[in-house]
Chains A and B, each alone.
Chain A
Amino acid sequence: MINVLLTTELSVFEIAEKLATITIAVSTLIFSFYIYNYQLKKDNKSLKLDWYRLIIIESKFEEFFVFFMRVNSSLEKIKNSPNITEDEKSDINQEVLEHLLKLRLEFVSLLLAVDKMLYDCVLHQFDELYDSITIKLADEDLNLFDKDVYEDEITKHISSYKTKILKMFVDFKGANDTHKVN
């Protein structure tokens, strides 16, 4: 009788031990899978950032500054030109458009290879900048040839967009939600 009880008790211990082993094994498996997924995501993000640095920041970022230099240079013609005609302002507007098209082809479109949302956000900001310049150039009541007006309406305006767009590149961390259109 005692022997039977001992055998039974041992069986209970054995069952408990086996259950514990199975539980530990399943937990280890789930945990390993979680770590694997986490590491994979981290590696992908890191790889994406490496490509971002290589393709955009190290190879082509000069285009960003060149664009602003060209835009400022085109618009400077308005300064000190009180007799500028609408056709001449329209030509300047076309010149700025040319700079935008060149920038889109040689720089902004590369962002599509890295992150579509970053591409959209950056392109929309450049479009907003160009649209606002167009509106200012078309406004006959805005005396852009006046030094102070030019400073406020053009120089400071362009500079604020430059900072805003630059911040998008600085803030980019490789994930879709790290930058937003303001």
Chain B
Amino acid sequence: MKEEIFELETYRAKGSKVFTGRDKGKYVRVNSKFDEIEKNNDKVIFKIPANLFSINPSFFEELLINVVLKLGKQGFIEKYEFVNEGKYKFEKPLNEAIDRILRENNAL
């Protein structure tokens, strides 16, 4: 079973405690080759760094858009393991981003 660790910390701007905005999400997706990591592995460990103030839905939405569309919610949950190195509660913005991606692209 092939697995890879994705360190969000690598893409933190110096001194920043937030990950916000679609532009930043897209920047991380492209520069980290986020979609290729998913494609080339059976499992991805997504590390949420310590000392964070917020990760907003706009950031998650643009970062995860392709992998969530490919895997669906269940497939994404099964393939990605989130490891929280701090105390920031990332679950709500993460779920919001997944729901938005699936709703906007599949519903109505």
Contacts and interface: CB of A to CB of B under 8 A. Distances in A.
A131 B100 contact: no
A131 B103 contact: no
A68 to B, nearest CB: 18
B17 interface: yes
Contacts of B40: none
B40 to A, nearest CB: 31
B1 interface: no
A127 B53 contact: no
B104 A112 contact: yes
Interface in B65-106: 88-89, 92-93, 96, 100, 103-104
Interface residues of A, number: 26
A90 B54 CA distance: 8
Q: Give the interface size bracket for B toward A.
A: 20 to 34
Contacts of A90: 53-54, 88
A99 to B, nearest CB: 12
Interface string A93-133: 11001101100100001001100100110011001101100
Contacts of B89: 94
Contacts, number: 59
Contacts of A104: 96, 100
Given A109-B103, A131-B20, A135-B20, A93 B96 contact: no
Contact of B54 (A127, A128, A138): A138
A180 B83 CA distance: 39
A86 interface: yes
Contacts of A74: none
Interface in B5-20: 16-18, 20
A135 B56 CA distance: 10
B15 to A, nearest CB: 10
Interface of B: 16-18, 20-22, 53-54, 56-58, 88-89, 92-93, 96, 100, 103-104, 107-108
19 contacts: A90-B53, A93-B54, A97-B56, A97-B57, A98-B92, A101-B96, A104-B96, A104-B100, A109-B103, A112-B104, A124-B58, A127-B21, A131-B20, A131-B56, A134-B56, A135-B18, A135-B20, A137-B54, A138-B17
* Chain A to chain B: the 7 pairs with minimum beta-carbon distance, closest first: A131-B20, A138-B53, A127-B58, A134-B54, A112-B108, A138-B17, A138-B18
Given A97-B92, A131-B20, 14 more contacts: A93-B54, A94-B89, A94-B92, A100-B57, A101-B96, A109-B103, A113-B108, A120-B104, A124-B22, A127-B22, A134-B53, A137-B53, A137-B54, A138-B53
